[in-house]
């Protein structure tokens, strides 16, 4: 029986300029990347909010991937908008515009049709909203949460509450250091466990990801991609695929399962960055995914 997963986050329009060129008002937001990535591993239900400028055409990619969008509220107004410019070769992204628009009113409710979801990926949104969702998901088997520097700075108290109430926390290197004051990532990860996290994933960007938990530690390299088009959403793709893959297993909480999920997340992210927006993620197949996954895993056997 296919497992059901809830993905919560932003749906938005992105304008991105980088060394590959520029795209205007393309589909973006953490939930776009995460839900499409998750959809290859579990039946995916999306919770988000969009404006009336979000057309049927914008919903089409999700429909194509069988993502249930009943939980996407359409509200009078404009959809979340983000504009950014990357420097040469994606070293840094400089945000030019963030217009929350209708997302400012996001008060997600879990629908009765979502009650069968025992797995969830909560993208990087206000930690208070993440907490309200965690409360609504009583009986969940796995809730993973992403966060970001903005929330750590503005509402660390709520972030700490999220940390205590989530199963797996995703942070990147600088967030791990910001949360703990530790430069060494193993120490930072262990300090996040002391804050009450059950398991921590530290995303290392071009260097893969690290897992720290009572189950053990692991650092895995990335799948090497030469022709990067856009790294936007790579972390969300990782998080969505990682969580969707774990949802598909009979038992997610073993180091073996987690390492496989990290491999799946990394491989899906490697596809994601080979195009702007979610274009490449939409045209995948189990065959393509398994082929790259095998290539990745075989590359680590020697």
Name the site residues for a copy of itself (rule: CB under 8 A).
88-91, 182-187, 204, 206-208, 210, 217-222, 224-226, 228, 256, 259-260, 263, 297, 299-302
Measured from the CB of residue 144, what is the shortest distance to a copy of itself in angstroms?
19
Measured from the CB of residue 214, what is the shortest distance to a copy of itself in angstroms?
14
Measured from the CB of residue 91, what is the shortest distance to a copy of itself in angstroms?
5
Which of residues 117 and 185 has its CB atom nearest to a copy of itself in the complex? Answer: 185
Query: For residues 48 and 240, what is the distance between their CA atoms, to the nearest angstrom?
Result: 15
Which of residues 255 and 282 has its CB atom nearest to a copy of itself in the complex? Answer: 255
Contact (CB, 8 A) for 272 and 37: yes
Measured from the CB of residue 231, what is the shortest distance to a copy of itself in angstroms?
11
Measured from the CB of residue 265, what is the shortest distance to a copy of itself in angstroms?
13
Which of residues 129 and 225 has its CB atom nearest to a copy of itself in the complex? Answer: 225
Measured from the CB of residue 205, what is the shortest distance to a copy of itself in angstroms?
10
Query: Residue 35: CB partners within 8 Å, gap ≥ 6?
Result: 7, 44, 46, 62, 65, 67, 240
Which of residues 27 and 202 has its CB atom nearest to a copy of itself in the complex? Answer: 202
Measured from the CB of residue 40, what is the shortest distance to a copy of itself in angstroms?
19
Which of residues 74 and 255 has its CB atom nearest to a copy of itself in the complex? Answer: 255
Q: b/e string for 12-40 if b means 16 or more Cβ within 10 A?
A: bbbbbbbeeeebeebbbbbbbbbbbbbbb
Measured from the CB of residue 34, what is the shortest distance to a copy of itself in angstroms?
23
Which of residues 100 and 257 has its CB atom nearest to a copy of itself in the complex? Answer: 257
Which of residues 48 and 270 has its CB atom nearest to a copy of itself in the complex? Answer: 270
Which of residues 1 and 224 has its CB atom nearest to a copy of itself in the complex? Answer: 224
């Amino acid at each position: 029986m296919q497992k059901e997963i809830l993905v919560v986050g932003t749906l938005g329009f992105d304008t991105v300029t980088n060394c590959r060129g520029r795209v205007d008002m393309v589909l973006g937001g953490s939930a776009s990347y995460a839900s499409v990535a998750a959809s290859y591993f579990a039946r995916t239900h999306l919770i988000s909010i969009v404006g009336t400028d979000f057309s049927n055409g914008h919903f089409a990619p999700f429909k194509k991937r069988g993502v249930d969008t009943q939980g996407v509220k359409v509200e009078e107004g404009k959809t979340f908008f983000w504009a950014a410019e990357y420097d040469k070769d994606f070293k840094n992204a400089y945000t030019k515009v963030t217009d929350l628009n209708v997302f400012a009113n996001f008060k997600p409710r879990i629908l009765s049709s979502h009650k069968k979801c025992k797995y969830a990926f909560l993208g990087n949104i206000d930690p208070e909203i993440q907490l309200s969702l965690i409360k609504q998901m009583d009986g969940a088997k796995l809730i993973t949460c992403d966060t970001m520097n903005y929330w750590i700075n503005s509402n660390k108290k709520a972030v700490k509450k999220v940390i205590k109430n989530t199963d797996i926390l995703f942070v990147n290197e600088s967030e791990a250091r910001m949360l703990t004051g530790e430069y060494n990532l193993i120490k930072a990860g262990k300090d996040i466990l002391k804050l009450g996290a059950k398991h921590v994933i530290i995303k290392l960007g071009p260097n893969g990801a690290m897992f720290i938990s009572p189950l053990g530690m692991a650092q895995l390299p990335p799948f090497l991609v030469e022709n990067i088009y856009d790294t936007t959403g790579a972390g969300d793709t990782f998080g969505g695929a990682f969580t969707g893959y774990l949802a598909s297993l009979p038992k997610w909480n073993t180091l073996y399962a987690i390492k496989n999920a990290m491999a799946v997340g990394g491989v899906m992210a490697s596809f994601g960055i080979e195009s702007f927006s979610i274009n490449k993620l939409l045209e995948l197949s189990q065959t393509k995914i398994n082929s790259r996954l095998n290539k990745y895993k075989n590359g680590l056997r020697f």
